[in-house]
């Protein structure tokens, strides 16, 4: 697994790492049951602080993307609570769509963009 951090980004490093891991799950690059590197190893590989990796792993655990196991470390375990996931998606999309509308992006353009993004992940 290769994750890269943009140290010049305004986005926090732990958020970048969370997003990359989620994208890797969505793209089928990593699968349920796969282990992520240890906190120490991930920090060394990327060149960031161990506490930053630990924060990312904690958030991913809280959001149901990984389980932390003493024997195997961080393991991909996607939580299948669809109702909760739909509610969260709705909250996130409301803000994103409101921002888009403030920038005069039309409904048709938003739909086309969403379709393009979904097609990047392939059919599931």
**7-41, pLDDT tens digit by residue?**
999 999 999 999 999 999 988 899 999 999 999 99
The angle, 0 to 180 degrees and rounded to 10, between the axes of the packed helices 39-46 and 50-62 is: 120
Match 């890269």 to its residue by tokens: 4
What's the Cα-to-Cα distance from 27 to each of 20, 40, 104, 113, 121, rounded to whole Å? 10, 25, 30, 18, 5
* The predicted structure's pLDDT at residue 65: 93
* 64 has pLDDT over 60: yes
* The predicted structure's pLDDT at residue 124: 53
Phi-psi region of 64 (alpha: psi -120 to 50; beta: other; left: phi over 0): left
Token readout for 112 is: 């086309």
- Residue 82 binned pLDDT confidence (cut-offs 50, 70, 90): confident
User: What CATH fold (topology level) applies to the domain 11-74?
Assistant: Arc Repressor Mutant, subunit A (1.10.10)
For 75, phi then psi, to 5°, come to -120, 135
């Amino acid at each position: 697994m290769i994750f890269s951090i943009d140290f010049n980004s305004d986005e926090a490093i732990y958020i970048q790492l969370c997003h990359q891991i989620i994208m890797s799950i969505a793209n089928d690059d990593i699968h349920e049951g796969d282990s992520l590197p240890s906190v120490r190893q991930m920090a060394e590989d990327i060149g960031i602080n161990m506490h930053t990796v630990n924060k990312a792993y904690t958030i991913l655990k809280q959001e149901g993307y990984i389980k932390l196991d003493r024997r195997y470390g961080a393991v991909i375990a996607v939580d299948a609570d669809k109702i909760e996931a739909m509610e969260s998606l709705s909250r996130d999309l409301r803000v994103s769509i409101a921002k888009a509308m403030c920038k005069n992006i039309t409904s048709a353009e938003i739909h086309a963009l969403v379709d393009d993004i979904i097609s990047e992940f392939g059919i599931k």
